[in-house]
Structure 1
Amino acid sequence: MTATAQLPFRQSHPLRSPDQLRALQGTGPIHKILTAVGDEAWLVTGYTLVRRLMDDERLGRTHRDPANAPRSRTSALFGGPIGDFDSEPTDHARMRRLLLPHFGPRHMRTLYPKVEGLCTALLDDMERHGSPADLLTGLAQPLPILVICDLLGVPYADRDRFRLWVDDAAFSPDDDVSLKGLESLLGYGMELVTAKRAHPDDDVISRLCDEPDLSDFEIATLAMQLLFAGHETTVTQIWVGSLLLLTNPDQWQALLADADLIPKAVEEILRAGMVGGVGVPRYARADIDADGVTIREGDLVLLDPGAANHDPEFFADPDQLDLARTGTAHVGFGYGLHYCVGAALARLELKTVYSQLIPRFPTMRLCADPSTMTAGFHSLSHGLVALPVTW
């Protein structure tokens, strides 16, 4: 099979799937494509197949020959394989076992007052400065960073430093800059581990330091992965979710009238806000039959949860934001083996945002054209533009 398209797909609107992706989806659930760096990969867009492969132990983040593995992009953090091929299954299970207690629903319930207070303070500040305001810099960016810094035990005052390294490591088109950013980020993580061993506190990094079978470098790596994942994706979720509600004022009013709808609404916002076109990279550890297509060992596979969440076979009118939607669960947080450890934290933050933002600013409205908000837009917060609002 020859490649039928090359990433990235042009996105004309932050809330709509790229036209090229829609065309691909109409031809089946899996497609041979070229990545942004010209390597071949399989892009999986069908809901059933995406969900099945998310839970398939024959897919992972490592590669038997990492130096010659196909790459999804120019990024030291995302572009190629990560980890040791032979020990990946054991390493993955071990890390999930260590992290789940810190991010499970029970622990998240104890965090609620802290998250609520941080959100209230940001909205107080936004109200004090008055209309108009930018929801990106006023709420979507600072809240997730405040929360994950507090949870991990990372000084919030260091945010400008680590965000620069994160941007370089994850998004720089220059391999050398990306690698240097990753090295700086891990070096910062080692500094934090040293400080926590000397002066432990009630935070995740300090508690990981008590694990006898974790080295300092493993703790630093885990901490920096959590620091990245714990704020980058949630920044985007708040930005996109707010934009969705502001462009669907009837749904905003529905949540204003009945706050009990918010937990269910968060799930629909998560589904509708992922428009697809960026797959989660995995490598085949063995040959896999994917709906009649043979994925060969070593192939790069991009699992696209956004495309899956807009599969019309499972979601009627998938482009429509419907807060009363019932039925099939979205795969925005993955599924099975690789279900997102931070899902409960993200849900907590989103519920808190909409529970406070909507009643606090019932007449809030967008004062920009969403179609102008795609410059540099990616699936993560890198490239997000201002979200100007008034009330």
Structure 2
Amino acid sequence: MTETLHPELPMERSSPLDPPTRLGELRETEPISRLQFPDGHLGWLVTSHSLTRAVLADQRFSNRPELQHSPIRIGGQVVPPSPPSEPGMFITTDGAEHSRYRKLLTGQFTVRRMNQLTPRIEQIVANHLAAMREAGPGVDLVQAFALPVPSMVICELLGVPYEEREGFQRDTGTSFKLSNDFEEIQAAFNRIKAFVADLVRRKHDDPGDDMLTGLIQSGELNDEEVTNMGLLLLVAGHETTANMLGIGTLALLQHPDQLAELRADPSLVDNAVEELMRYLSIIQLGPIRTALEDLELGGVTVKEGESVVISVPAANRDPNRFDRPDELDIHRPATGHVGFGHGVHQCLGQQLARIEMRVAFRALFTEFPDLRLAIPASEVPMRTDMGIYGVHRLPVEFS
């Protein structure tokens, strides 16, 4: 295979709901291609579904941050090297350390416990839809529904006082904005960490029936580990689902035939959620893995120390895995998508996210059968400037 050096990660989209066109071109010609990182590092970009799963399932690739190189600039700056993971930062650890943390969290995220949450999620969704109707006939769906629903759910699950949400929501937004200075992003991240650390201290004196208390009482973790685990769960637990609810609603409104079928048969919602995860693929900047030894991948040699950027949007639109991949089809069996990752680092909270999206989409389109955009679709502000894709705002109206 001829190695063509690409000077940057393709980010420019020709359509708000589709990945950058260049990613699809690379997937067809060079499913693993040479990528030059902003710091000068020569690594790789993976765009095919099969190679994505191969990398994510291969423990010869590391997820440790000090080994990785950033494929983009942050705030116009080259991202400095990251220090090793702090204790409890389970998503950026390998091997036995990762397995230990994962096992503890898996006990907190059982399917049974997630299913037991369903009635409460249904109540949270119903309350926010009632507030929407009272505030209507026009609202910003992000602020009225897509953001507060998963925020309240993860707050209750972790034991975070919901009335204290504004600070961590604001700082989460700051930390994901690619145009911010790296120092500004780090400061926001540190504020979230300080917030969770204070909450952990309070849990010692006032324990509750929540996940943070459960981690503290496991006897397996110190407070620093609990804090860092809680930090990751808090940020990931509301930011990703909130963006899927926002852009997922936009996608369905832009595909009225699909939406009509979903309204006619709400049992399609399970399949629709999987298809939206595949079709939209909001994780647009990775994951990133670094080779721990020389290895062969897709006909090339990836050398020890080289970082590999995986394009989830490209992998989930791979025609070798999905028929008519650029079409939204809620009847499609979209199993096998990598919207929640793959391998040992696959998203721990995926069952919770699925339940939230199923409940939210079903109820939203049942309660508001004439829900529609309040502005032209071309004017919806997209999150092209954020690490997680979606919509900044989604003005909608209803009768």
Q: TM-score, normalised by structure 1?
A: 0.91
Rounded Cα–Cα distance in structure 1 between residues aligned with 2:288 and 2:347: 14
Task: Trace 1:263-342 onto structure 2 (pairs within 5 A).
Answer: 263-274=270-281, 277-326=284-333, 329-342=336-349
Question: 2:176–2:386: 8 Å Cα contact kept in structure 1?
Answer: no
Matched, 1:361 2:361: no
Rounded Cα–Cα distance in structure 2 between residues aligned with 1:158 and 1:381: 23
Q: Deviations over 1:236-258 (max 9, x none)?
A: 11112111110011111111111
Question: 1:279–1:302: 8 Å Cα contact kept in structure 2?
Answer: yes
Question: 1:278–1:379: 8 Å Cα contact kept in structure 2?
Answer: no
Helix, strand or coil: the match of 1:334?
Answer: coil
Residues 115 and 107 (structure 1 numbering): CA distance in 2 closer, same or farther, change over 3 Å? same
Helix, strand or coil: the match of 2:340?
Answer: coil
Rounded Cα–Cα distance in structure 2 between residues aligned with 1:329 and 1:81: 33
Helix, strand or coil: the match of 2:285?
Answer: coil
Q: What letter is aligned with 2:145?
A: L
Q: Deviations over 1:57-95 (max 9, x none)?
A: 1122216xx3x8522345699984652899731111011
Question: Equivalent residue for 1:48?
Answer: 50
Q: Deviations over 1:113-137 (max 9, x none)?
A: 1111111011001011122221111
Question: Equivalent residue for 1:59?
Answer: 61
Rounded Cα–Cα distance in structure 1 between residues aligned with 2:181 and 2:169: 17
What are structure 1's unaligned runs of at least 5 residues?
none
Structure 1 residue 355: Cα displacement:
1.4
Structure 1 residue 373: Cα displacement:
3.4
Rounded Cα–Cα distance in structure 1 between residues aligned with 2:288 and 2:47: 13
Residues 390 and 42 (structure 1 numbering): CA distance in 2 closer, same or farther, change over 3 Å? same
**For this pair of structures, how many residues does the alignment match?**
388
Question: 1:271–1:309: 8 Å Cα contact kept in structure 2?
Answer: yes
Rounded Cα–Cα distance in structure 1 between residues aligned with 2:134 and 2:105: 38
Task: Trace 1:1-391 onto structure 2 (pairs within 5 A).
Answer: 1-35=3-37, 39-62=41-64, 66=66, 70-73=69-72, 80=82, 82-83=84-85, 88-171=94-177, 173-274=180-281, 277-326=284-333, 329-373=336-380, 375-377=382-384, 380=387, 384-391=391-398
Structure 1 residue 26: Cα displacement:
2.1
Rounded Cα–Cα distance in structure 2 between residues aligned with 1:246 and 1:48: 31
Moved more, 219-228 or 178-187: 178-187
Question: 1:21–1:277: 8 Å Cα contact kept in structure 2?
Answer: no
Residues 336 and 246 (structure 1 numbering): CA distance in 2 closer, same or farther, change over 3 Å? same
Rounded Cα–Cα distance in structure 2 between residues aligned with 1:359 and 1:383: 23
Rounded Cα–Cα distance in structure 1 between residues aligned with 2:100 and 2:249: 36
Helix, strand or coil: the match of 1:312?
Answer: coil
Rounded Cα–Cα distance in structure 1 between residues aligned with 2:314 and 2:84: 25
Q: What letter is aligned with 2:70?
A: R
Rounded Cα–Cα distance in structure 1 between residues aligned with 2:163 and 2:131: 18
Helix, strand or coil: the match of 1:239?
Answer: helix
Residues 108 and 280 (structure 1 numbering): CA distance in 2 closer, same or farther, change over 3 Å? same
Rounded Cα–Cα distance in structure 1 between residues aligned with 2:282 and 2:190: 32
Question: 2:282–2:389: 8 Å Cα contact kept in structure 1?
Answer: no
Helix, strand or coil: the match of 1:102?
Answer: coil
Rounded Cα–Cα distance in structure 1 between residues aligned with 2:41 and 2:376: 35
Q: TM-score, normalised by structure 2?
A: 0.90
Q: Equivalent pairs: percent with the same residue?
A: 34
Helix, strand or coil: the match of 1:310?
Answer: coil
Rounded Cα–Cα distance in structure 1 between residues aligned with 2:380 and 2:397: 17
CA RMSD of aligned residues (A): 2.6
Helix, strand or coil: the match of 2:391?
Answer: coil
Rounded Cα–Cα distance in structure 1 between residues aligned with 2:282 and 2:124: 29
Rounded Cα–Cα distance in structure 1 between residues aligned with 2:105 and 2:7: 38
Rounded Cα–Cα distance in structure 1 between residues aligned with 2:173 and 2:54: 31
Rounded Cα–Cα distance in structure 2 between residues aligned with 1:261 and 1:383: 23
